[in-house]
Amino acid sequence: MATTILNHPLIDHKLTIMRNKETGTKEFRQNLDEIAMLMAYEVTKSLPLQNIEIVTPICPMTGKQLIRPVVLVPILRAGLGLVDGFKTIIPTAKVGHIGMSRNEETLQPEEYYAKFPSCLKEADVLVLDPMLATGGSACAAITNIKKRGAKNIKFACLVAAPEGIEVMEQKHPDVDLIVAALDEKLNEKGYIVPGLGDAGDRLFGTDQ
Ligand SMILES: O=P(O)(O)OC[C@H]1O[C@H](OP(=O)(O)OP(=O)(O)O)[C@H](O)[C@@H]1O
Ligand SMILES: O=c1cc[nH]c(=O)[nH]1
Ligand SMILES: [Mg+2]
């Protein structure tokens, strides 16, 4: 598995706006959407291609096309904030959903919903969640997706804690991990420091 930390200037600029506690719902959403498009470009960099014979208006040539369909899997709720940006860059992508809620006391993820397109097994699956904290939610979501036959999986997140990356590397060594920004640590409540707070609450305007 490869772990990539993007550290991209445009993403860092937009992420700083998202991190600021004065930033409201509208701007938080807008910046997440813009970052998602930039991340989609980076996450898809290593997708495999195959040759295809075509004819241009000038002559025949060997072109390239993606080998497999792409399936986006946002981890609900906060992962939904990345879907539109990824769909803008990959308009043919199918979308599966997995609902995970982290128990505030035990920090264990609880799955409450799962629905996937039938091409999951042969697809390039891009699992999306802005936050990788303890790594529990992402690991559980990926375990579920693997049980359904998915083999080519990448996990894209905006902000990660070192603890979450370590857990992912141990439990899912075959999954590529693409992280926009690596933060310092988790606090005693399992929140990423400095982080951006509760991504789901800030995205949907629910209580924080
Ligand atoms: O790495 P972990 O320790 O599991 O924490 C990360 C998870 O926590 C957040 O979801 P949350 O449970 O708050 O649900 P929400 O998206 O509905 O707010 C976040 O979007 C991740 O899914
Ligand atoms: O910092 C954190 C940790 C988990 N979930 C979030 O939304 N933010
Ligand atoms: Mg939340």
Domain extent listing, the chain: 3-46+69-204
Active site residue 201: yes
Q: What is the pLDDT of residue 39?
A: 98
Identify the active-site residue in 44, 102, 124, 202: 102
Active site residue 124: no
* Nearest protein Cα to ligand 2, atom 2: 191
Taking each helix axis from N to C end, the angle separating 9-19 and 25-43, rounded to the nearest 10 degrees, works out to 150
Percentage of the chain with pLDDT > 90? 98
The CATH number of the structural domain formed by 3-46+69-204 is 3.40.50.2020
Best substitution site from 107, 129, 198, 203 to test ligand 2's pocket, by max atoms within 8 Å of Cβ? Answer: 198
Q: What ipTM was assigned to the predicted interfaces of this complex?
A: 0.98
Please report which ligand is nearest the Cα atom of 76: 1
Active site residue 102: yes
162 lines ligand 1 (CB under 6 A): no
For residue 1, pLDDT over 80 is answered with: no
Q: E strands along 41-166, which residues?
A: 49-55, 60-66, 70-76, 94-95, 97-102, 109-115, 124-128, 131-132, 152-160
Q: What is the pLDDT of residue 207?
A: 82
Q: What angle do CA 187, 190, 192 make, to 5 degrees?
A: 65
For residue 121, pLDDT over 90 is answered with: yes
Closest CA to 178 of 25, 40, 21, 18: 40
Q: What is the pLDDT of residue 208?
A: 60
- Which atom of ligand 1 approaches the CA of 76 most closely? 16
Mean pLDDT of 152-176: 98
Distances (CA, A) of 78 to 25, 87, 129, 200: 13, 16, 6, 4
